[in-house]
Structure 1
Amino acid sequence: MHPRKDTCLRRGTAVQLAYPSDGLDLDGLLILPAGRSRHDGPFPLVTLVHGGPYDRFTDRFSFAGLLSGQWLATTGYAVFLPNPRGGEGHGHAFATTVAGAVGMDEWTDIVSGIDLLIAKGVADPDRLGIGGWSHGGFMAAWAVGQTNRFKAAVMGAGVSDWGMLLATGEYGRLEAGLGGSCGWEGAGPHRHDQVSPISYASKIRTPVLILHGEDDTNVPIGQATYFHRALRTYGVEHEFVVYPREGHSILERNHQLDVLQRTRTWFDRWLVDPVSDRTQQPQRLTQTRPS
């Protein structure tokens, strides 16, 4: 799984998916590895979750400077782009399902799609990764606290604690609509504690790459620092990368390139040659600040 030596990158074929989840008909996209078909599987599969959550993946070319499915497809990954509950395209009731319940039904929808791709022989169940940016970063952090089936995760500008985001994020109390409660509503536990990835940190065994802009006011960097410290406490292998001068989006070209390369290197490390038991390996707990 190495990039081509010439300057022309082959794109992976994007296939539209339709699949059921909890009685609903959902959709998404599957990007196949460049130059490969479904019949060549199973492949290592990376699931990328969109932000928002009111957004959706569509069948269009995208080679973004954040987490790019096509970038991963050029080196042999299949990439699943789900459109779970909370997003666009299925009406108001579908979008508002996640209000006060983030990480619940949308997680069920994502898992249903992954299970389908495994059953169809597209995805290798022993080589699964997950990642996302913003709300997608929240879902990646949520995922690794719910299951150990993923071999690697990337949390980009993600939420680890909805109560803290309410207190420090630029959207303030609007975040309570997703988290479900405010910390000043009496002694906890609160609803937002139940849907915050930080609450499940003791269960995490999956290696996590944490990426965050230092000047992010939408999801302040304290969210990433909190998750980093929790993973360090429990001895979870992870890397924490802080991009100076960057906000919620990564805009400087050298930082965009760093995100692309660092993400692929992270998945390569854990998914290309999976090891059945990584608990015996030395742990790397690093914090990095690209220039």
Structure 2
Amino acid sequence: MLNTKELDDIKKLQLICEQEEKIQLKLNWEMLKSRNEKEKTDFLYYEDDQLIGFLGVYGFGNKVEVCGMIHPNHRRKGIFSKLFSKAINEIKNQNVSQILLNSPTRSFSGKEWLKTLPCQFSFSEHQMKWTETNLGEEEHIMIRPTTPDDIETEIQLDVQCFGFSEEEAKVYNQRIKKENAQDFFIIEEKQQKVGKIRIQHIKKEAWIYGFAILPEYQGQGIGRRAIKKILRQEHQNGFDIFLEVESKNANALKLYESCGFKAYDSQDYYEYK
């Protein structure tokens, strides 16, 4: 578990690295703030009490994502490779089927480091922000807070929509329910549980995550009505609204764009062999 000083040092280093390359690093701050103290997921390198390097490992079901950074004045010294080696040794002890290495699309230093590894490009992820758009007349859709009785539905949505195994989905849901500043919702159609969505609030930003509709209910406009209702609600409450979507998920991308979302940045993911 990271202490307050370490979190502050990571934030300072993040700002330095982002300003250097005009990028946005994806460090999953809510996960950093709520780490399991029994797991080794964060690797830090200090020199003279200054944080020089950081690498974080983030678990999502049967896969882990790895992201990190090195101070611009201390690159090409092998520091990040040492942190990565330590991380891989820890990951090998976990039940992980896929390791994804994350780099901002515009990060030259990140792409150069990835060239040294046995990895291949997997996909890009768009980071999108909603621009105020005419959403048309409001249509009825039931979106309610989750209860403990909904956990099996949430697990099945992760299994059927995101490729988790049931055990992976169970562990994943147990973990994210412990994170702060998140609201979990079930989407209902004709009194049937058909989907889910969760909202994370960070200052004046609302981030949409985990949006899924069961396959047998897709193509009926349920997802569009649900997204529009969330947009109206969060906009009315004064939040800027964001989400992330894989570029290869054409249907979701088309839906979000039609509702007023526009891509402003992207992250690239490489599968480590």
**Higher Cα Rg: structure 1 or 2?**
2
TM over 0.5: no
Q: Higher strand fraction: Structure 1 or Structure 2?
A: 2
TM-score w.r.t. structure 1 length?
Answer: 0.29
The structure showing larger relative contact order (alpha-carbon pairs under 8 Å, at least 6 residues apart) is 2
